[in-house]
Chain A
C-alpha cells in the first residue's frame, strides 16, 4: 500500500529539524530545550524556525549548563513531557554525564517502571569539520555501555528524520548523535510528514559476498568509497549502516558475516572500548564457525581527537579501510 507522499530535498540538519517539527505538531508535550535553540535556531540551525512556529514555551533557550539541561529534562520527562534536549556538541556532554548515568538511564529500573524518562538527547558529534578542540569527540561508547540508554546515529537525511521520530516516540531515553560531517554534505528526498525508521535495525547499503563492512554516521561515506575501490579490485563488500548502536542489529550483523566470513568494522571513536570491540564479540558469539579471517577494525586512535591540523590523520580514511578490506579478503 503506497500513498503518494510529497518529498523535499533536505540536508540532514534540515531533516532533523523537520523530524522535530512533525512531532511537535503531533504531540503537545514534545518540547525542545538547550543552549541557543530558540531565537538562534541552534548553533547548527537544527532548531531553525521552531520557536517561531511553537513559541518559547516549547522551544526553550536554557542557561548554559548541560547538567541543568539534562537534569531538568528528567524532571520534565517523568512529569508528562517529552523533552528533546540539545547538547551543543557531544564533547560538551560531560557535565551532564552524572545526570544521564545515575538518573535518566536508570530511573525506570530503579522504580521497576513506576517512573520513566522518555527523552531524547540530541548531540552533534565527530571530527572532520575543522571544529575547535573538544568539539569533535566521538564518545558514543560511553553511552552504549550505559544500561538503559539507546544510542542512535543516522548517516543520511532520510534516516535522520525517521530515526529521530522513532527516538521521540520511544518510551525510554535515547541519545541521538548527529554526525556533523553529514549535516550538510548531501541532500536527499525526504518525505513530508511523519514516518519511522525503526530503532535497532541496521540497513544494508550494498550487497556483497566477500567482506562485511560495519560502520555508522560519518564513516558511511568513507566505507562506501572504500567498498567501491575494493570492488574494482574484485572484492565485493556487504556494506551495513548500523544506524542504532544500542541495541545493535544482531541479526543483520550475524547474517552478513555468516555469508562473507570476513568483516571490517569502521568507527572514528578510539579503538579500545569502542563499538568495534562489541561487534567483534557479537560476531564471536553468533558466527565463530563462519569466520575465515580475523575481524579487522579501522578506528580512531586511543588519543584525544587532535586539533584539526591533524584530524585527517586521526579519522579513518577510505585508504585505511581499503587496506583492511584487502587484508581480510586475502587472509
Chain B
C-alpha cells in the first residue's frame, strides 16, 4: 500500500503543471491518510478528507471498476482533481464503450453539439461533434448525420503519432494528451473521418476553466498548437454518467453503452446492442478502410421527422 503512495508521489514530481499544486498536496496527504485507514479499494480515484463523517454516503468508482460507498465529506476536497495523465492512458477496466447513432431519429436540433461545446468549454471554431447534411447520391433522400470521433479499434491517427500523444485505451477510447502533442498534425492527415481540430492560436479560455487542472479525460483547458477531438467524455463515464451529447439529445438519437455487457442506452430505453444491430441493420462508416470504428449507425429508415434543410445553410447559400 505504502509503495503505491510512493509511486503516486513520483508521478507527481514528473508532471510539469503547477496550478493545482495545493490540490495535489492535499491529495497526497489524504492519500497517506487513506492508506493508514486501509480503505477498501486500493488506489481510490477520489481522495479523502480528514474531516469527521457527516453520515451522508457517496458512491465513488475505483480504478478497478468497483463502486465503493464513502462519506460525502471525504469526496468534497477534490472536486477539481483530475485523473492523472498516466492514469488516463489505462482506460476504465473491463469496459468496451460503444455508441450507436440512430439516423432515423435525428432532426438536426444540434442540442448534442451545443452541450458538447459548452461542457468541454470549446470556443472559437473548434467543433468536436459535427452534424452533416448527407445525401449519398443525387436521387437518394438527404438525412442528418451526427459524427463524433469514431474511436476506431484500428485507429490510423494513433498509428502515425510520433510521440504517442494520441493513444488507444483498454476501454476502446482514443484520447489526446495535449501536454505531450507536438502539433505535427499527422493524425489529422491520417484520420479518414476528419474528426480532429487544431488550436491554431491561443484558445479563448473561458473564465470558468482558467486555472483548472488538465486531464486528457476532460480535454480542457485547451492549449495552443495542439490537436483536440471528441473524447467520449471519460470523466463522466468514470462517474457512471452518459456523455454530454447522449444526455442532451431530446430525440434519443444516441445510444451509449458497454460492449462487454452488450447493452446500450439513450437515457430513455436500454437495449441489447446485438439485438439492436440485428433489428435495425446497424453499420459503420467506411468499413472498407479497416479502421473498425466503435460508433455504429442505424440507417435513416422509418424516420421520426421529415427532413428539413438547416436555415443557417440556406442563408449561406443565398450569399
- Same complex origin of A and B: no
Residues of A within 8 A of B (CB): none
